[in-house]
Amino acid sequence: MPIPRYRLLSGDLLAQWGFSLQHLALGLLLGAIAGTLLGALFGLVPAAAQRVEPLFYALAQIPTLGWIPLFMVLFGIDNGLKLAVIIKTTVVPMTINTQQAVAGVPLALSEAAKVMNFSRWQRLRWLVIPASLPGWFTGLRLALSQAWVSLIVVELLASSEGIGYLMVWGRQLFQLDIVFVTIAVVGLSGMLMEWAANRACARLVFWPQPAAGRLAWKPQASWRALQLPLVLLALWQLASSWGWIDGALFSSPLAVATRFIQGALSGELTAAMLASLGRAFVGGRAGDCGGPALRTAAGAAPARRANLHAHAQRAAPYRPVCLAAAADRMGGQR
């Protein structure tokens, strides 16, 4: 029997919204800390960037939704799944933007710090952190929006609490008013988070910022980048061979490679990749065409209104004559 709608006003909506915000806050905090430390490591230690950065960027290309089946196996469908998804979603933009911000410290300021004999701690406190704070906030805004969307998706797929679960619950009970209310709450929450992040950035970053005309950070490319992936694959294969990892749960690298070759030779993998690339190409081209068109229309709207207003002002002296002529014509028709 459907549950009465008044329960939305008696605390269900606020309770489920609170559950979602708690998971978001905890996952965002952990992901922001990990992403900040990792990005600072890549930006300040070139040797670490050469060895770890390529593997990180390779894993970052996998969409968050693609990790959900693996996270379900590792963490179940409880709160661990939500935290894992939020942390993964947060770490990537925080790491990338922190690394670019740390590596993009103006050269003139770095030379001034050397002239003033700043220690490493003084350089980090008075130069690196203030100069990289705008880029860090950019990563935080991206991470916040992506984490919120990912959390809602996880709650829609596999969850027993949260605003996304409430949306599914309303759909299953055919109570579309609950669905629309939850959609509105999700949208308003995202807008409020974006506004809060922008306000915090405006309050904390109050000094002039240099124009970002070029990308000071460049991806590291070196043969050392192969060391870490090869070591991890070797350990994975040894653990699978010795029975430390259940083959039914995690296939060994050799089994994965064998399956990859079979799929490529049979054409199944190639067909699936071509289908995905085709959809991505069509959708991307549609977005590339529609986005500038909408932007142009939005930008041209004020100019069009100004032109119409100018024409109206020019035609104002003739308005009484036109009205009189129209009245005479209507009288003649009668």
Reply yes or no on whether the pLDDT at 23 is more than 70.
Answer: yes
Q: Which CATH number fits domain 14-204: 3.40.50.1110, 3.40.50.300, 3.50.50.60, 1.10.3720.10?
A: 1.10.3720.10
Output the six-digit token pair for 29. Answer: 């905090």
Q: Residue 6 — very low, low, confident or very high, per pLDDT cuts 50/70/90?
A: very low
Token output for 332: 């003649």
pLDDT grade for 249, boundaries at 50, 70 and 90: low
Q: 120 pLDDT exceeds 70?
A: yes
Q: Give the integer Cα–Cα distance in Å for 65 and 71.
A: 10
- Per-residue pLDDT at 236 exceeds 80: no
Handedness of CA 129, 131, 134, 140 (dihedral sign): negative
List, as one string, the DSSP characters of 55-117.
HHHHHHTS-HHHHHHHHHHHHTTSHHHHHHHHHHHHHHHHHHHHHHHHHT--HHHHHHHHHTT
Percent of the chain with pLDDT over 70: 76
Q: Name the least confident of 63-67, 243-247, 312-316.
A: 312-316
Q: What is the pLDDT of residue 210?
A: 57
Residue 19 Cα distances to 15, 24, 79, 158, angstroms: 6, 9, 10, 15
- Write down the pLDDT at residue 2: 45
Q: To 10 degrees, the CA torsion angle through 51, 90, 198, 204?
A: -50
pLDDT at 248: 66
Least confident of 27-41, 68-82, 291-305: 291-305
pLDDT band for position 11 (50/70/90)?
low
- Contact assessment for residue 143 and residue 93, using Cβ atoms and an 8 Å cutoff: yes
Nearby residues of 212 by Cβ (< 8 Å), 6 or more positions away: 104
What does the domain layout of the chain look like in residue ranges?
A: 14-204
pLDDT for the residue 209: 61
Which position has the higher pLDDT, 264 or 36?
36
Question: What's the whole-model pTM score?
Answer: 0.68
Residue 90 has pLDDT above 90, yes or no: yes
> Do residues 184 and 13 touch, judged by C-beta distance below 8 A?
no
Average confidence (pLDDT) over 128-146: 87
The pLDDT tens digits for 280-303 are: 778 877 877 876 776 676 665 555
The residue-averaged pLDDT of 71-92 equals 87
Q: How confident is the model at residue 304 (pLDDT cuts 50, 70, 90)?
A: low
**Percentage of the residues of the chain whose pLDDT score is greater than 90:** 9
Q: Which of 95, 59, 90, 45 is nearest to 220 (CA)?
A: 45
Tokens of 239: 């653990």
What is the DSSP code (8-state) at residue 318? Answer: G
Q: Is 242 left (phi over 0), alpha (psi -120 to 50) or beta?
A: alpha
Q: Choose between 33 and 292: higher pLDDT.
A: 33
pLDDT at 74: 82
Q: What is the pLDDT of residue 219?
A: 54
How many Å apart are CA 255 and CA 120, to the nearest integer?
48
Strands (E), the chain: none
Q: Please state, rounded to an integer, the average pLDDT across all residues of the chain.
A: 76
Mean pLDDT across 306-324? 43
pLDDT tens per residue across span 187-224: 899 889 989 888 888 888 776 665 554 444 455 556 66
Radius of gyration of the chain (CA): 28
pLDDT at position 311 is 47
